[in-house]
Amino acid sequence: MDDLYRDYILEHYRRPHNFGVIDAPTATYEGANPLCGDRITMQLGVTNGVVERVGFTGRGCAISQASASLLTDEIKGKPLVEVTKLRVDDVLDLLGIEISPARLKCATLSLDTVQHAIADDPPGGGAPNATRAAAAETDA
Amino acid sequence: MTLTSEPGVADGAVLPAVRAGALDAYAIRDEFPILSREVHGHRVVYLDSASTSQKPRAVIEAVDAFYREYNANVHRGIYEFGERSTNAYERARVEVARFINAPDSHELIFTRNATEAINLVAYSWGRRNIGRGDAIVLTEMEHHANLVPWQILVQERDGDLEFIPITDDGLLRLDVYEVLLRVKPKLVAFTHVSNTLGTINPVREMVDMAHAAGALVLIDGAQAVPHVPVDVQSLGADFYAFSGHKMLAPMGSGALWARRELLEAMPPFLGGGEMIREVHLRRSDFNDIPWKFEAGTPAVADAVGLGAAAQYLRGLGMDHVRDHERDLLAYALDVLPREVPGIELYGPLDVDQRGGVVPFNLPGIHPHDVAQVLDRFGIAVRAGHHCTMPLHERLELAATARASFNVYSTRDDIDALVAGLRQVQTIFEG
Ligand SMILES: Cc1ncc(COP(=O)(O)O)c(C=O)c1O
């Protein structure tokens, strides 16, 4: 279990990649995990069906921040159709650590948020800059 | 009905855990089997008692004895086990009623937990007494258990909710409360002790103010009954709800106390067996209190365990329990800021106005990560919003970590927490 906070996870947490807002995003979505108070806003700049630019902002635990950092690296330059196919296991592979069920939501918040952003703004349609909070259904 | 003696602490027995008028927490620790376990190779440092408490041998044995020696349904069987079971159940009621100094044990209703006790009042009393435009006054520091049932009620009945705000230190703004009472609320409902900040609210004063304004008062005592002496008569409350599992008793035990005339005037909560006197095809006569509110087969063994827990705590003396936890709180509030650089602490600074609850944050480190790393060292703290999301919003905090104490907590536990938090900082700041 000491493997959870590996150096590269902490490195992504301290200096996340793709952190910040991007110019003229084609899709924006704010995802939240009310259980732990994590909040992430994902912005995508999609051109010709390819995620050319991506940025995220927000606060959360090391696992959710590292996962957003790794995921944004992963999807940058990828065709949208491939991004929509990403599954929870892909994110866990990117993280490369054992995630307990209690922390699964932290690990997958970034993917959920990206997928909501895409669903809200399908390629070739949808309003740019549509921001909506993802209200998760869970409570303690 | 004769009340035969079931396992527990004999009246007047002096427990080894009380010496020279103070609790010996180390001796008490030995009475909680789970605390001698190891977690990840470390001794257990259980600092999440506000969530649920651990159970002493006296309680575990009382539950065990029920199932091994006399398990039977209550108020039914005309045979040895049934009589013993009924006796033990009703004896537990007397014990628990006595623990909060209820004037009449029939005013004490067994529930599954504080949440169910509050919902009982919201559904049964609330539906009959709250109508269009009627106000209920709550506070910004309520646990969701004392918020959501009232939201549901006023949505259904077209009533209103008003909230007493808090100061940045986590004290209720009584000056605003005074003004809110001018809307002539039907009910004021608030927590005796905050589960998040530890604030001990001035119940008596607030009850008097409510009564003067013509409102009834419900107190959420989930964090009070386990930690401070509670006397429902001197508090002057109308309804008092609490959980057993936070006061050393089994999960699934809890209680509602209310004044007899209120309970008698209230319609039943759930319908079924046990709560009736006579049933006809189209109508029924309801049983007397408290059974009117205890439909179906109750959690008898858990109630017996709750009685044993009340007896155990009475043996320790709630004044001693309170003194012990105030000492621990003072110690924690002293060492944490000195030994853990940058730690942010929340809640009242005056230990006389606060129970053994210590919410905190380490700057730049999410409480989930704090809790996860502490777990490596066998230290259990809660991380999140502790079922008080509006309070966290008010304090502009996404989440906090929380250490909380009980009778078995020791200074060693706090020292372990300090050492653990420094490890967290090393890992994250390294
Ligand atoms: C102040 C307060 N009220 C109510 C509750 C609800 O208790 P239960 O979950 O046992 O119903 C809690 C438990 O956390 C609490 O701390």
In tens, the pLDDT along B136-194 reads: 999 999 999 999 999 999 999 999 999 999 999 999 999 999 999 999 999 999 999 99
**Are B134 and B229 found together in one domain?**
yes
Q: What is the pLDDT of residues B356-403, one digit of tens each?
A: 999 999 999 999 999 999 999 999 999 988 888 889 888 888 889 999
- Among B288, B315, B342, the domain boundary falls at B315
Q: B82 pLDDT exceeds 70?
A: yes
B174 lies in the same domain as B297: yes
Say if B256 falls within a structural domain.
yes
What pLDDT, in 10s, does the model give residues B101-114? 999 999 999 999 99
A interface test, pick of B372, B377, B402 with most A CB neighbours within 10 Å: B372
Contact B35, B54 (CB under 8 A): yes
pLDDT in tens, B320-360: 999 999 999 999 999 999 999 999 999 999 999 999 999 99
* Interchain pair B372, A103: CB under 8 A: yes
State whether B355 and B258 are in the same domain.
no
- Domain at B148, CATH number: 3.40.640.10
Give the β-pairing of A50-59 and A133-134.
Answer: unpaired
Question: Would you say residue B240 lies in a domain?
Answer: yes
ipTM for the predicted complex comes to 0.73
pLDDT of residue B225: 98
Ligand 1: nearest atom to the Cα of B192: 1
Nearest chain A residue to B40, by CA? A1
**A125, pLDDT greater than 90:** no
Of B295, B315, B335, the one marking the end of a domain is B315
pLDDT at residue A129 is higher than 80: no
How is B278-302 classified by DSSP, letter by letter? EE-SS-EEEPPTTGGG--SS--HHH
Is A18 within a domain? yes
- In chain B, the residue whose alpha carbon lies closest to the alpha carbon of A63 is B369
Into how many domains does chain B fold?
Answer: 2
Q: Assess if residue A134 is contained within a domain.
A: no
In the prediction, which pLDDT does B314 show?
97
pLDDT over 80 (residue B129): yes
Domain shared by B210 and B325, yes or no? no
Bridging pattern class, strands B379-380 and B18-19: unpaired
Range of the domain at A69: 7-123
Q: How far apart are CA A109 and CA A32, in angstroms?
A: 7
Q: How many domains does chain A have?
A: 1
Q: Is B387 noted as a catalytic residue in this protein?
A: yes
Asked whether residue B27 is domain-assigned, the answer is no
- Domain for residue A86, yes or no? yes
Phi, psi of B235 (to 5 degrees): -75, -25
Q: What is the pLDDT of residue B419?
A: 98
**Banded model confidence at residue A123, pLDDT cuts 50, 70, 90:** low
Residue B116 CA: which ligand 1 atom is closest?
11
pLDDT single digits (tens) A60-71: 899 999 999 999
Distance from CA of A56 to the nearest CA of B (A): 18
Whether A129 is in a domain gets the answer no
B106 and B124 in a single domain? The answer is yes
Give the tens place of pLDDT for each residue, B8-61.
Answer: 444 445 456 777 778 999 999 999 999 999 999 999 999 999 999 999 999 999
Higher pLDDT, A4 or B8: A4
Confidence of residue A2 (pLDDT cuts 50, 70, 90): low
**Same domain (yes/no): B404, B256:** no
**Residues in A lying within 8 Å of B, measured between beta carbons:** 1-2, 4-5, 10, 13, 34-39, 59-63, 103, 106, 139-140
Domain assignment of residue B259, yes or no = yes
pLDDT > 70: percent of chain A: 85
Domain final residue, candidates B315, B335, B358: B315
Pocket of ligand 1, beta carbon within 6 A: B 113-115, 143, 145-146, 191, 195, 220, 222-223, 243, 245, 387
Residues B321, B272 share a domain: no
B268 shares a domain with B385 = no
Distance B222 CA to ligand 1 centre (A): 5
- Which of helix, strand or coil describes residue B394? helix
> Does residue A47 sit within a domain?
yes
Mean residue pLDDT across chain B? 93
Tell me the percentage of chain B whose pLDDT exceeds 90: 85
pLDDT in tens, B285-300: 888 889 999 989 999 9
DSSP B373: H
Look up the CATH number of the domain holding residue A113.
3.90.1010.10
Evaluate whether B337 touches B363 at the Cβ level (below 8 Å).
no
**pLDDT above 90: residue A101:** no
CA distance B197 to A19: 34
B385 CA to chain A: closest CA distance, Å? 7
Q: State whether the Cα torsion B134-B139-B140-B145 is positive or negative.
A: negative
In percent, the amount of chain B with pLDDT more than 70 equals 96
H helices within B131-171, ranges in order?
148-157
> Does residue B42 sit within a domain?
no
Residue A85 lies in a domain: yes
| Closest-CA residue of chain B to A139 | B387
- pLDDT, tens digit (0-9, with 9 covering 90-100), for B214-231: 999 999 999 999 999 999
pLDDT tens readout for residues B197-209:
999 999 999 999 9
Q: Determine the structural domain holding residue B240 and report its residue range.
A: 80-315
Q: Could you tell me if residue B283 is inside a domain? A: yes
**Closest CA–CA distance from residue B365 to any residue of chain A (Å):** 7
Examine the domain organization and report whether B244 and B392 are in the same domain: no
Report the greatest alpha carbon distance in chain B. Answer: 74
Residues B390 and B296 in one domain: no
CB distance from B84 to chain A under 8 Å? no
What's the CA-to-centroid distance between A37 and ligand 1, angstroms?
A: 20
- Name which residue leads in pLDDT, A25 or A35: A25
Query: Has residue A111 got a pLDDT over 90?
Result: yes
Same domain, B278 and B330: no
Q: What is the pLDDT of residue B16?
A: 62
Q: What is the pLDDT of residue A1?
A: 43
At B15 the pLDDT is 59
Query: What does the pLDDT read at residue A122?
Result: 57
Q: Do A4 and B372 touch (CB under 8 A)?
A: yes
Domain-located, residue B58: no
Q: Residue B242 C-alpha to ligand 1 middle, in angstroms?
A: 8
Any domain includes B164:
yes
Question: Are the Cβ atoms of A34 and B385 closer than 8 angstroms?
Answer: yes
Which range of A92-106, B67-81, B99-113, B262-276 scores highest in mean pLDDT? It is B99-113
